Chains A and B, each alone.
Chain A
Amino acid sequence: MWRVHGLSVPGYRHRRDGVPCQDAWAHRQSGSAQVLAVADGAGSRPRSDEGARLAVELATEHFSRWTWANAGAPAAARTVRMELQITFRELRAAFLKQVGDTPGDFATTLTVVVLTPEWLGHLSVGDGFVVLRAGTSEEGEPQFHALPRPAAPGEYGNETVFVTSPGAEEWVHTDCVQDRGISGVLLSTDGLAQAALSTRPPGPNTSFVSAVLRSLDEPGPDPVRDTEALTDLLTSDRLTALNADDKTLLRAVRT
């Protein structure tokens, strides 16, 4: 069993200017599988908040449909990755059909995790990221692992690929992790990349990831208060100083 919690908060400038959050997240249980999705609407596009919401809705719908039939059985990593690609193409086609003639207005990234008892599938287009908690060190400390991210398309940190970008299928990154010991999963948009990922050496910022998974491992008596504390963290000046963008945190821990 998994406990899942998601939260998106508007970034500093969006809060100041009264602009809605352009991030979105969604979660759906599909038999014994969990489908988790986060999306980051492009800051410069007028309807990217709608694009982000549509992307995560379609992701949970399409990937749930697929996992319903496949979740219980072991699968070759190559098969999982191929199925992730095929399902992405289907959901992208559905996305483009729904947004009509100006898809660029709805530009959004998309990061999806399909979590089954046997394997974890990961698909990402754009600059979202995923960190796993799995295994322990010799000292018994939990170990954290950042999944590889898609290659950046340009020199600058604010350049990325969107679901709506021409040739987005070519930029999709997929992974399959076959590890029954995964005990925690964190998905996020790039607004938390500086907080949750370390520069040197490249990898997760263990103190951040362990703290936000711990608070879901051991929830307080009042879920509203837990969410408030997490909101305070994500909107704190300390995190804003690292990145002023909208922030999304979707967590799942094994119970």
Chain B
Amino acid sequence: MHEQHPRTLPVQYSDIEFENNAQRLPLVLCLDTSSSMNGRPIDTLNEALDSWTHELQHDVGLSYSVEVAVITFGGHGVRAWQGPNPLQPDTRVSPFVPAHAFRAPRFTASGVTLLTEALELAMQIVAARKTELRAAGLQYYRPQICLVTDGLPTDGTGHYTESWRRVVPVLGDEQLARRFRLYAIGVGGITDQGEAVLRELAPKFNARLQGFPFKELLQMMSASASAEQKGAGDEVFEKIFSQFRTQRPAWES
């Protein structure tokens, strides 16, 4: 893994050695890659992820702090990615990659919408990463999970399932305990019913957006990461999210 750091120390201090001990900010992108995303939507997602990766790597305040993990739910069921590489199910390898070393996967769209299982995996990898960071003596910020879907949760045969209801109390407890922030975003042609599911999953940070504004969505995640680093209060996150919901890039101001 790439671990080179920017080297811009004045000559008087050029002999200082540093550890790679920046406070970590785990960020999970939990993305719908089911068949309904085929065509332009998945292309847009791939392009946006590429571009965001580039921006993140050039943000010196985030690039050594943010750690990105990707989970997809689609053609291969629920899958975790370590950068561009899909991980085997039940692997003990962590999918988190420091932002400065992250390379975006290239997705294709197919299959069903195992949203519930994807969220369960997201919670599991966040808890495991916290354990690793604590064991390494590293401090961390509150993790962020960003769920993006254009449809309704299904079972393995592609039929709507109510199984998502089983994670609602768990997510409620976890968010109340401030274990992570969950953002649930509906895109494309998501229905009223799909939107209602997202509202239940993430009562505070849910949105239904026109089209596939993945670029803005990922920029919102970066803005939230910066706010987390500054120790911002909940009202700041709510403001950032509210501006995102109305699809105005006002956080840039």
Seen from chain A, the residues whose Cβ lies within 8 Å of a Cβ on chain B are 11-13, 42-44, 155-160, 194-195, 198-200, 202, 205, 207-208, 211-212, 215, 229, 232-233, 236-245
Contacts and interface: CB of A to CB of B under 8 A. Distances in A.
A238 B12 CA distance: 15
B236 A241 contact: no
Q: Top 8 nearest A-B pairs by Cβ distance?
A: A157-B139, A244-B61, A237-B6, A43-B230, A158-B231, A241-B64, A199-B137, A157-B23
B9 A236 contact: yes
B19 A244 contact: no
A158 B228 contact: yes
19 contacts: A11-B61, A13-B229, A43-B231, A43-B232, A44-B232, A157-B139, A157-B141, A195-B18, A199-B21, A208-B16, A212-B13, A236-B10, A237-B8, A238-B18, A241-B6, A241-B63, A242-B22, A244-B65, A244-B229
Interface in B5-38: 5-10, 12-13, 15-19, 21-23
Contacts of B142: 156
Contacts of A42: 231
B8 A236 contact: yes
Contacts of B23: 157-158, 194, 243
B18 A242 contact: yes
Interface in B212-252: 226, 228-233, 236
Given A194-B18, A215-B13, A240-B60, 18 more contacts: A13-B230, A42-B231, A157-B141, A158-B229, A199-B136, A200-B136, A207-B17, A215-B12, A229-B10, A233-B12, A233-B13, A237-B6, A237-B60, A238-B8, A239-B18, A241-B5, A241-B64, A244-B62
A207 B15 CA distance: 7
Given A199-B136, A200-B137, A238-B7, A12 B17 contact: no
